[in-house]
Amino acid sequence: MKLSLAQVLEPRLAALDLDHRLQLARELIPGRIVFTTSFGLEDQLITHAIFTAGLDIEVVTIDTGRLFPQTYDVWAQTEARYARRIGAVYPQAQALEELVAERGINGFYKSVDNRKACCHVRKVEPLARLLSGASAWVTGLRADQSQERATAALAEFDAGHRLLKINPLADYAREAVVALVEAFSVPVNELHAQGFISIGCAPCTRAIEPGEAERAGRWWWENEGNKECGLHVTESGELRRGPAPIDTETTR
């Protein structure tokens, strides 16, 4: 019986902790693996695991040009802690200039379409360039972060980017991530202590109130529906999935 690599990995990853999940993924997945970090709590824990084990997994961030100063601070602190550089990909200059000229520097407040256009130029398109030619993409998604992410699997095929997607913290609760970050003294964004649970671009992120969902502070001026920028989901708000191509199949 033929199974996709994602189907082979899922049950094997489920039995392991974060460190061993990443190690197994690196052992079984050929080619280039990219981990994208936004320097949030989950991503910092994954970065710690990758750098501590010396895994051959690229650690890269998408610098939108609108990040909080505190995010740049924890970027520098992380590089100093692990004596490793974290790469960055940036929006294309011409596309960014055209976006600002057409919709305004803060045009994303005026409409959902404007906001999605900004996210596309600053995040989605740079990610597509970054993942071009990669075999797998590692993310910090957790299933309990939002309704849209509730079905996130440990291993799945991303139909949009045409690669394997590994979410090694998909079944972790936030409390477990916090405990591990504290135990390993991992650098964290100081905004977390100020109520910023999910941290994105500065103009588009606020602290959340007690009882609010983790991602309620993202694009708070929009309705309480899909709180995503398009990196992980389709226009309808669903995680991008599809059948794995034949060349990623393995035989059980």
The residues assigned a catalytic role are 229
Q: SS in 3 state form for 7-42?
A: HHHHHHHHCCCHHHHHHHHHHHCCCCEEEECCCCHH
Residue 3, helix vs strand vs coil:
strand
Question: Cβ(98)–Cβ(124) under 8 Å?
Answer: no
Q: Tell me the torsion sign for CA atoms 139, 99, 63, 33.
A: positive
Question: Cβ(64)–Cβ(91) under 8 Å?
Answer: yes
Question: Which is nearest to 189 in space by CA: 64, 12, 45?
Answer: 45
Distance CA 216, CA 196 (A): 10
Distance CA 68, CA 62 (A): 13
Unique residue bearing structure tokens 């009882």: 211
Distance CA 22, CA 12 (A): 11
Burial class (CB within 10 angstroms; exposed 0-12, middle 13-18, buried 19+) of 50? buried
Question: Which is nearest to 121 in space by CA: 185, 64, 42?
Answer: 64
Q: In sequence order, what are the beta bridge partners of 233?
A: 239
